[in-house]
Structure 1
């Protein structure tokens, strides 16, 4: 009897540890939840700005119930949650997955728009939200990706509710991309690569008309031709520059569009409960 009683606390401890997941599989409190339960809990976490937890629940929903309205909506919501959680690569991957699985879905325009917004904010950068800097001085990779995302949106879905904002952002991005080319041309000038500078300047003039960068590109072109002893070409470029300046044809850059809170509620949650 004494021996049996002495072993009892040990047995209780083992049982307690097993219940806590020390031995065997850790208990998942969401086990057995329905699709609607998982979705409502994930949406609540998203509304409370608990993005990491929301992503976890949305991914559980997709894994357990891969078909149906809840899974479809979860894919869009998880992309938004990852975007808000500062996980841009995962957000873009989720949006791309939705586009691939549901190319004819009436809300696929949102997936393209979200991709554009993610890349757009990557091109802006964290510090630029607090310290204004020259956007044209940064690596244009994300800006170009954002421009392409928005371009697909406005081309395929011209009547989308997101198209107008996408067009405005494209104008801003185009100006920055043009100015980036001018910055590269100026760098070539400093390095003595005058022919490369002239080629970059001509590229801006040919491909980025109606941006303020054309004015700067013509200035670089004049200097590059002079450095190459192409006085006739330099005079022609100077004449074009003077005529357009006098005519007021060089336009000012568009201001950066205001930040938007990307809407994630593509349809009313109540509709998910309809049969």
Structure 2
């Protein structure tokens, strides 16, 4: 199935600055990063070290960027990086990262140094967008000289820590709006044609195809399966058009694509994908699944 023409631009012609400004003018604030995210971060200041690692200055809005670190930091412990909200519209990624901090992170601080950046794209969170205001996808921008300040800021912060993460889990969703809005917008922006993909009904993972660590991915899926259902493969034994590494897991060239889990040399990496539009789940279960993904991965490493 092919997407319908997007209401901005001319089919077959990439957007100029004029079309990007037209797209930006259509966006509006729909929820509050400060009420939904920053207030929770503030409530955790007695339990974690809260560090502002940057600020995004977009039109009339300034968005401070925060990371939280476990207090019992020791240089000889492995570092775990958890990121959420790279795509700001993916709600359970943001709130899953926060819920992990609220409920489970301290259970692991004796064994790991944990860093959580719960909302990398706060403008995208507020406007329910995949892109930033310049029509740039942060999760294709984890590259040198990144065009996305969201990606640039977190990459610099992690580099400045001076420690290479052992683990990086990036929390995402795949939603019906991927087909109804975001893929049509992408095709229009780039002046190309995109076919809709079959959105998997359930939770799945995307790993680094160059270093898939299938046992690590399987441990995550087993923990998540206690919370919500795992997405079955389609008739081609694929998910979103990509062959399976194992059931419930696809592999992607993450560095080539500029994906978040590719910007460090972490040995154990995974991108979660929750399907919140399924009639088999709800918002709380999606958040709980994100927490289970992180704990499943950490438990695997502790039990090796």
TM class, shorter-length: under 0.3
Larger % of strand: which? 2
Larger % of helix: which? 1
Scaled by the length of structure 2, the TM-score of the pair is 0.24
Query: Which structure has the higher relative contact order (CA within 8 Å, separation 6+)?
Result: 2
